[in-house]
Amino acid sequence: MAMATPIHDASQGDYRFAQQCGADAVTAENVAVAYRLDGADRPIERVGGGWSEFGIEAGTVLEDAADVEAMRELLAGRDPHSGEQLVRPKVAVAPEAQLPAAAFVEALEAAAAKRGLSLAELVAADPWSVKRVGRLERGLLRDGEHHRAPVADLSRVAAAAGIDPRRVYGLPQWKAAWDQREARVRTGVMGYDVTFDRPKGISVLQGLADPVVAARMEEIHLEAVRESVAALQGWAGYGMAGHHGDGRRAQRVDTSGFVATMTVHRTARPVDGSPGDPHLHTHVMVANMARCSDGKWRTIAAGGRDLMRHVPAVGELYRALERNKLREELGVQFERDAVTGRWDVVGVPDTLKRTFSRRQQQILAVTGQGATPAQSRTAGRATARGKVASTPASERQSWHERALEAGHTPAQVVAAALGREPGGPAAGPAPGGPDQGPPNLDALITAVWDPEHGVTAHAKTVTRAKVLAHVAGALGAGLPSVAFLEAVTDRVLADARAVALPEGGPAHMTNAGRYTSADLVAAEETITASAEWRLRDFSGHVHLKTSIRAEREWERKKGFRLSAEQREVVHRLTFVPHGIDTVVGVAGAGKTTIMSATRAIWESAGHKVEGAATSAVAAAGLRAEAGIDSGTVASLLRRIETGRGLDGVGVLVLDEAATVDDRALAAIVTEAARTKTKIVAIGDPMQARAVGAGGAFARVHEIV
C-alpha cells in the first residue's frame, strides 16, 4: 500500500534523508556519508521529470552534503543553484505576534454600548475594520477563548473604535506582541512523503533468502516504486494557473514533472536493542513545486488534493506491479486473505510473520485492540528508539537465528515460497501470465462491483481514482503495467454494472469521473418508489378516537404528559396512514418517548410492533426505553432471506435508520410491502452516516 504525509517543516524532510528507519537526527554534513559506510545502505535516488529543469538527470543519486542541501532548497521552493525563490511559500503571523481576541472584543462591546452603537457602527469610519470585527466575532464563536488575532490588526481596529488596546492587555503584554508584529512562520506544505510499503510476507522472504535472490527482490521493489511514481506524476504532477473563486476557475497547466527523491529503509524500527525486523519500504519525497508549460513555477496537484486522492490507487498499483514481477521472475505465488482482503506470499507461515512483527506488537501493547490510526501513530512515536548499528550481513544473521528460534528453517521457508527444492533453482515464471489478458474479466468486474466487498460496499459514489485502486487490488499478480491497469479499469467502467454519474466537484482533477453501481441505483429506486406508492396505504392506521384514548392511558401509566410537539408526531405516525414514515430529530429530542407512546397506541389497535437497528446496543435501547421487541438489522435480513420475514408484523420501527445502507433498506421495504407492514424510520442524516453505501433515508423523509 502507500501512505502520504504532507511535509510542513525541514525536520520532516531530514528524516527522509536518513538511511535507516528510526535513525538519529541527521544533518546535511553527515547524511550523505552515512549510507556509504560498509555499503550498508542504498544511496538516495532522484526521481521525477522535474530534475531536468536544473540540468540534473533522474535516476542519479545524492553524492554529498551539497546534494542534500540542494534538495532542502527545493523543499523550500528555491532554485538549488541560485537560491532564487521559485514558489512563494504560504506564511502566517507568528504566534508571538498574536493576542487573545476575547478581551479585545469585550472592550469593543463596552465602548459601543457606552455610545449606544453596534460594533459595526463603532468602527464605521474604517470599512476594513468593519470586516475585521466580523471575523473576530466569527472566530470567537468557532474557537471560544482560544481565538487569537494579529496585534497589527487589533491596533487598527482599536484606532477606528477610539480605544487604547494597551489598557485591554496591559503595556508589557501589548509591547511584547507589538515588537514581534512583523514575525511570520511558514504554514504551507513544502512537499509530500509518499511511502510505499509491501506485505510482511515479501519482506520476510527477502530477509531469509540468499543475498543474490534478496538483491533481486529489492530491485523488483524499486522498479515497481519507480513505475508507480511515474504514474502518480502523470495523474497529479500538474499545476494550476489563475484565480479560483468569485465565479472564476483556475486552469490546469502541464508541468515537466516531479522533483523528488527516493529513500529506501530495509527494516522496521529496532526493538529491544537488536536489528529491526525485515520491513523494506521506500519514502518518495516530492517537493511541492513544478515548472509549468508557461515557464512559471507553481505548487502541484491542485493544492496537493489530487496527489492525496490518488494515494490509494498508486499504492495498490505498486503492490500489484511488485506481485507480478515476483511471480514472473521468481515463481512467487500469492493468495488473498479472506478476512483482510490483502495479498501475501504463499509459503511464508503466519507464525513467522508474527515473529518478525515485533514493532507492530510493541505498538499494539500500548494502544490495545481497535486503536485508531492516530492513536497508533502516537504510540509509535512514544515507543520509537534510535538506530542499531548493523550491516546487511549482520541483519540477515539475526533474522535467521530468530526464525530458527521460532521453529522455522529459513532454507525450507524460502524454498516453499519460491516453489523449489532447498538449494535448487527457482520454479521460474508461473503459467497464465498477463500477456494472456486479465484472468477472467467477468469475475474481476464482479469483484469490483460486489455489494459486500466491492468499491461501492461503503460508498454510494466513487471516482475513477477509487476504481483504479480497487481494480489493481483485485488483479492479484496479473498487472504488468500502468497502461494495463488503465485499460482494464476502462473495461470495468464500461460494464453494465457501472453507472456513470453527471460531472460534479473539481472537474480539473485527474480521474475525477463519478460512478455508482447498478445495484445501488436499483436499491434507491426500490426505496423511493415504495415510499411514494405506499403513501396513504393505511398500513398501521389507528382511528383517531382510539389513538387519543390509548395515548391518555399511556400518559396516566407513565405519570407525565407529552409535549405539544411530541403529541403532534404521535398523532401523525398513528393516524396518517403512510406505509413508510420517518421521524427526524437529534439525540435527546425525545424520540424514544414518542415511540413508547406510539407502540402503546398501535398495540391497542391490534398491531404487532417490532424494532430493528444497525447496532445491538441501539436495538437493546429501543427494547428497554420504548418497550419494542427489537433485534439487529442483520438478524432481520436473515429472517427475510430464510422466508419468515415480517409475516404478522404490523409496524416495524427502524432506529438509527440513517445508518442503514441502501441495499439493506431496499430488502426491508420490499419485504414490508409484501406483508403490508408499516415502516417507521427514525434517524438524523446530518449526524450519522450509513455503515455501507447509503443516503436514501433523507430522500424518503422528503417524500413523506
**CA pair distance 76, 189, nearest whole angstrom:** 9
Q: Between vectors from CA 414 to CA 408 and to CA 420, what angle results, nearest 5°?
A: 125
Q: Average pLDDT of 558-569? A: 89
CA 470 to chain centre: 15
**Residues 694, 524: Cα–Cα separation, whole Å:** 9
Answer positive or negative: Cα dihedral of 624, 628, 630, 633. negative
Q: Give yes or no for a contact between 198 and 344, defined as CB atoms under 8 angstroms apart.
A: no
pLDDT at 431 > cutoff 60: no
Q: 399 or 1: which carries more pLDDT confidence? A: 399
Say which DSSP state 96 is in: G
How many C-alpha atoms does 312 have within 13 Å on its Cβ side? 15
pLDDT at 643 over 90: no
C-alpha cell at 248: 472564476
* Average pLDDT for 652-679: 93
Is residue 110 scored above 90 in pLDDT? yes
Over range 683-689, report the average pLDDT. 66
Task: Band the pLDDT of 619: cuts 50, 70, 90.
Answer: very high
- In the predicted model, is pLDDT for residue 285 greater than 60? yes
Which residue is listed with cell 473563486?
A: 245
Mean pLDDT of 492-501: 95
Q: What is the pTM of this model?
A: 0.83
Question: What pLDDT shows up at residue 25?
Answer: 42
Grid cell for residue 678: 408499516
Q: What percentage of the chain reaches a pLDDT higher than 90?
A: 66
**pLDDT(644) > 80:** yes
- What are the pLDDT digits (tens) for 61-79? 999 999 999 999 999 999 9
pLDDT band at 684 (very low <50, low <70, confident <90, very high): confident
Which of the residue ranges 155-164, 352-361, 501-510 has the most confident prediction, judged by mean pLDDT? 155-164
Confidence of residue 419 (pLDDT cuts 50, 70, 90): confident
pLDDT higher than 60, residue 427: no
Q: What is the mean pLDDT of residues 513-530?
A: 94
CA–CA gap between residue 20 and residue 388 (Å, rounded): 9
Provide the CA 125 distance to its chain's centre, in angstroms: 47
pLDDT at 32: 39
Terminal alpha carbon distance of the chain: 45
pLDDT digits (tens, 9 = 90+) for 655-668: 988 889 899 999 99
- Paired strand residues for 194: 4, 284
Longest Cα separation, the chain? 95
Q: Which of 508, 502, 468, 473 is nearest to 488 (CA)?
A: 468
Indicate whether 653 pLDDT > 90.
yes
pLDDT for position 339: 75
- Pairing mode, strands 239-241 and 251-253: antiparallel
Q: Which of 33-47, 198-212, 219-233, 403-417 has the lowest mean pLDDT?
A: 33-47
Query: What confidence tens digit (pLDDT) does each residue in 119-144 have?
Result: 999 999 999 999 999 999 999 999 99
Residue 383 pLDDT exceeds 60: no
Distance, in Å, from the CA atom of 28 to the CA atom of 34, rounded to the nearest integer, reads 11
Strand pairing category for 260-267 and 45-47: antiparallel
pLDDT tens per residue, range 170-190? 999 999 999 999 999 988 899
Instruction: Report how far apart, in Å, the C-alpha atoms of 177 and of each of 95, 128, 170, 184, 492 are.
Output: 9, 21, 11, 12, 60
* The pairing of beta strand 260-267 with beta strand 278-287: antiparallel
Quote the CA–CA distance of 346 and 273 in Å, as a whole number: 31
pLDDT at 508: 87
Distance of CA 175 to the CA centre of its chain: 44
Mean pLDDT in residue range 485-511: 91
Is pLDDT above 60 for 689?
A: no
Question: Is residue 598 exposed (0-12), middle (13-18) or buried (19+ Cβ within 10 Å)?
Answer: buried
Q: Which residue did the predictor score with more confidence, 227 or 478? A: 227
What's at 162, amino acid-wise? G
**What mean pLDDT comes out for the span 308-313?**
96
| Percentage, residues of the chain above pLDDT 70 | 86
Q: Are 602 and 651 in contact (CB under 8 A)?
A: yes
pLDDT at 109 over 60: yes
Looking at every residue in the chain, the average pLDDT score rounds to: 87
Give pLDDT tens digits for 226-261. Answer: 999 999 999 999 999 987 666 677 899 999 999 999
Answer whether residue 39 shows pLDDT above 50.
Answer: no
233-247, 393-407, 453-467: least confident range: 233-247
pLDDT at residue number 242: 83
The string of pLDDT tens digits covering residues 8-19 is 988 887 877 765
pLDDT at 292: 97
State the pLDDT at residue 635. Answer: 95
The answer to whether residue 26 scores a pLDDT higher than 60 is no
**Per-residue confidence (pLDDT) for residue 192, from 0 to 100:** 96
Give the C-alpha separation, 149 to 185, whole Å. 15
Q: Note the pLDDT of residue 246.
A: 62
pLDDT at residue 108 is higher than 70: yes
